[in-house]
Amino acid sequence: MSNNSNYKDSSSIPPLASGGGGASSSGGGALQYLKDVFNGLKSLATGLRRTLYYFTHHKEIITEQYPENRDTLNLPERFKGEVVMPHDENNEHACTGCTACELACPNATIKIITKFDITPEGKKKKALDKFVYHLELCTMCNLCVVACPTDAIKMAQTFEHSVFDRSELTKILNKPGSKIREGIE
Amino acid sequence: MVEEIGTTPEGDIIINVGPQHPATHGVLHLVITINGETIKKVEPHLGYIHRSIEKMCESLTYRQFIYVTSRMDYLSAHINNHACALCVEKGLQIEIPSRAKVIRVIMDELTRIASHELWWGAMAMDLGAFTPFFHAFRERETINDIMEETCGARLTMNYMVPGGVMLDIHPNFQKRVKDFITLYKSKISEYDELVTGNIIFQNRMKGVGYLSPEDAISFGCTGPTAKGSGVSSDIRKLYPYEVYDQVQFDEVLETGCDSFARYMVRIREMNQSIRIIEQLIDNIPEGDFQAKTKAVLKLPKGEFYQRVETARGEFGVYIVSEGGTTPYRIKFRSPGFSNLSALDQMARGSKLGDLVAMMGTLDLVIPDIDR
């Protein structure tokens, strides 16, 4: 222990007034030594009292028993677990295939493949073919969700993403046979 | 390149601490020259977790690069994001709504408390006390839950965006923060009971790791490391940003220059953060949480620098723009790197067993040092 400290006791420092510690405290003789020993033991007892308090007060322990509590686990609605595309009961989504999310993504997590639909009037119209999402590249930054002009994607609260094969993490978010909801441009 | 193992011509032994060592809290590699138990030289070796973040940022747009900085000093993720957002706003010359400013400051201070809580637990664990770690995590968990509810993530939030904050605060936010303040005030005395007053702890901290104010300045130390040596370096006071010039708080300074002084700075800094939050939490102005910005951000040609005070010290973002959508060059000034450079000076002449205590009080986050 180097002795070049110019330590000054300030008012904020709790107990144990004699600075520098028991071993290096100078002066005072035997009485001071006994005082240091007493204060030292007192400080240890103070800490142990706190430990003992929690040992006897089980209700104040707040440990969560994961994974046993899976059924009751409540994650906040904003929790960013993975990107999903909500579909309604008619198997319709709100994605126009504008690629705003693809451009917003920092990691090239999203790849949008578009196709051309023929409208009843006989015109060609750009539509979403496949919304490819690479979960393994995603950092959950939420930029794609913010960028989406039609709120077609959102963050889901799932978080147990372990799989045995990496390819399982590449997902196609639009369900097979789904189409864009009426009235969304 | 130094010899990494063996003996020097003078008969001193060279040993390695790390890169895989639990007390370095990351992949820090220290090559230490010792004479018996006495440290003669400490040489940090870096590069084990280099991800070339600065270069990566050059290929990302001004909105995209912010999330990467959460991965540097992951315990001050909010504050890192904040610095980037401020720097981009400086370049765009946009004024952000006052609601966003206040939310940002509250988030920063919550992050600072969470970071210091974790440091306190880890610090006590370095010295062999395992229980405090769980006490610290109990309070920290409450902050993480608040963050999770409003920002959607516990550690890498990416909540600050150029122009304001990404989402408005959750309706429960104010209530939960107030609950946290009540909880914190009832529990902070336990910290002193368990650790601060403990004689073993005090003997291992006082007089250990002496860093004179002159050395602290010449090594470029900032944050609690410098404040423990009595060097005033709080960016929130010296170069106020957001609403820090409108709130009352004291810059915490200790004159002990040793490990214990740096310890006390952090403990007292948490109380100041609580004080700032208390002043702001009931006074969040109504209005927008984000200013209107263009879809594609383009910074004008020039150089922009913004510094903020993270839990570890001064964090700076330097952007060189050529007028395009991506930065031409980005440089981050991380507090950990400068603080680590002072370790050699602090450790010389002290015992090997005290090295861990010194490293603990520097509050090193390795991904921040090694970007």
What is the percentage of chain A residues whose pLDDT exceeds 70?
A: 84
Sheet holding B302-309, edge to edge: B302-309, B314-321, B329-333
Whether A110 is covered by a domain: the verdict is: yes
d(CA B234, CA B232): 6
| Residue showing tokens 């952007």 | B319
Residue B45 within a domain: no
Beta-carbon pairs below 8 A across chains A and B? 126
Distance, in Å, from the CA atom of A184 to the CA atom of A98, rounded to the nearest integer, reads 12
State whether residue B306 is helix, strand or coil.
Answer: strand
Considering the domain boundaries, does residue B240 fall inside one?
yes
pLDDT at A3 over 80: no
Instruction: Let me know how many helices (H) and strands (E) chain A has, helices first.
Output: 3, 7
pLDDT in tens, B107-125: 999 999 999 999 998 888 8
Contacts of A139 in chain B (CB under 8 A): 67, 156
- B128 domain residue, yes or no: yes
The position carrying tokens 């006897």 is A56
Residue in chain B closest to A53 (alpha carbons) equals B190
Q: Which of B17, B41, B40 is nearest to B28 (CA)?
A: B17
Same domain, A56 and A24: yes
Q: Do the chains contact at B64 and A143, CB–CB below 8 Å?
A: yes
- DSSP class of residue B189 equals H
pLDDT digits (tens, 9 = 90+) for B183-207: 888 888 888 888 887 888 888 888 8
Interface mutation vs chain A, best among B57, B179, B203, most A CBs within 10 Å: B203
Same structural domain for residues A55 and A81? no
Domain presence at residue B192: yes
User: Two tokens at B298?
Assistant: 């383009």
Same domain for A117 and A169, yes or no, is yes
Residues A83, A30: one domain? Answer: no
Name the pLDDT band for A27 (thresholds 50, 70, 90): low
Query: A85 and A162: one domain?
Result: yes
Report the C-alpha gap between A124 and B228 in whole angstroms. Answer: 69
A124 and A175 co-located in one domain: yes
Q: Are A112 and A144 contained in the same domain?
A: yes
The pLDDT tens digits for A135-167 are 888 988 888 898 888 888 888 888 888 899 988
Domain count of chain A? 2
Comparing CB atoms, the residue among B60, B149, B158 nearest residue A78 is B149
A101 and A151 in a single domain? The answer is yes
**pLDDT above 60: residue A23:** no
Looking up residue B263, the CATH number of its domain turns out to be 1.10.645.10
Within-domain flag for B21: no
Q: Which amino acid is at A182?
A: E
Range of the domain at A145: 76-180
> How confident is the model at residue A4, as a pLDDT?
39
Stretches in chain B below the pLDDT threshold 70: 1-5
Asked if residue A70 has pLDDT above 60, the reply is yes
Kindly report the nearest CA distance between residue A83 and chain B, in angstroms: 13
Quick check: A46 and B193 CB within 8 A? yes
* Cβ–Cβ below 8 Å for B207 and A46: no
Do residues A149 and A101 both lie within one domain?
yes
A85: in domain = yes
Show residues of chain B in contact with A8, CB under 8 Å: 255-256
Strand A170-172 with B29-35, pairing: unpaired
Residue A10: the pLDDT is 39
- Please name the member of A22, A47, A143 whose beta carbon is closest to the beta carbon of B194: A47
pLDDT band for position A15 (50/70/90)?
very low
A30 falls within a domain? yes
Q: Are B60 and B69 in contact (CB under 8 A)?
A: no
- Per the CB < 8 A criterion, the answer to whether B54 and B350 are in contact is no
Residue B300 burial (C-beta neighbours within 10 Å; 0-12, 13-18, 19+): exposed
String of b and e for B220-236 (b: at least 16 CB within 10 Å)? bbbbbbbbbbbbebbbb
Whether A101 and A175 share a structural domain = yes
The predicted model gives A124-145 an average pLDDT of 87
Q: Say yes or no: A145 and A90 in one domain.
A: yes
> B94: closest CA among B280, B237, B300, B246?
B300
Q: What's the pLDDT score for residue B1?
A: 41
Among candidate residues B150, B159, B156, B78, the one with its CA nearest the CA of residue A76: B150
Range of the domain at B70: 56-369
- Of B139, B206, B204, B189, which Cα lies nearest the Cα of A46? B189
DSSP H or E run through B43: strand B38-45
Q: Compute the distance between CA of residue B35 and CA of residue B49 in angstroms, rounded to an integer.
A: 30
Distance CA B125, CA A21 (A): 20
CB B46 within 8 A of CB B362: no
CB neighbour class for A60 (10 Å; exposed up to 12, middle 13-18, buried from 19):
exposed
CATH number of the domain at A96, please.
Answer: 3.30.70.3270
pLDDT at A12: 41
- What's the pLDDT score for residue B200? 83
| Least confident span in A7-11, A37-41, A107-111 | A7-11
Cβ within 8 Å, pair B260-A7: yes
Residue A138's SS3 state is coil
Which pLDDT score, from 0 to 100, does residue B3 have?
53
Whether residue B123 is contained in a domain is answered as yes
Residue B11 inside a domain? The answer is no
Exposed (0-12), middle (13-18) or buried (19+): which is A137, by Cβ within 10 Å? middle
Would you place residue A18 in the very low, low, confident or very high pLDDT band (cuts 50, 70, 90)?
Answer: very low
Across the interface, whether the CB atoms of A16 and B202 are under 8 A apart is answered yes
- B130 phi and psi angles, rounded to 5 deg: -90, -35
- SS3 call for B250: coil
pLDDT confidence of residue A5: 39
How far apart are the two ends of chain A, measured CA to CA in Å? Answer: 73
Number of structural domains, chain B? 1
| CA angle (A116, A121, A125) in 5-degree steps | 20
Best residue of A12, A55, A157 to probe chain B, by most B CBs closer than 10 Å: A12
User: What's the confidence (pLDDT) of residue A8?
Assistant: 39
pLDDT digits (tens, 9 = 90+) for B288-321: 888 888 878 888 888 999 999 998 889 999 999 9
Residue B309 in domain: yes
Would you say how long chain A is, in residues? 185
Residue A165 three-state SS? coil
The reply to whether A174 and A87 lie within a common domain is yes
Chain center to CA of B113: 10
Helix intervals (H) in chain B:
53-57, 66-69, 77-92, 98-126, 131-151, 173-191, 199-205, 213-218, 224-227, 235-238, 259-281, 335-341, 343-347, 355-362, 366-369
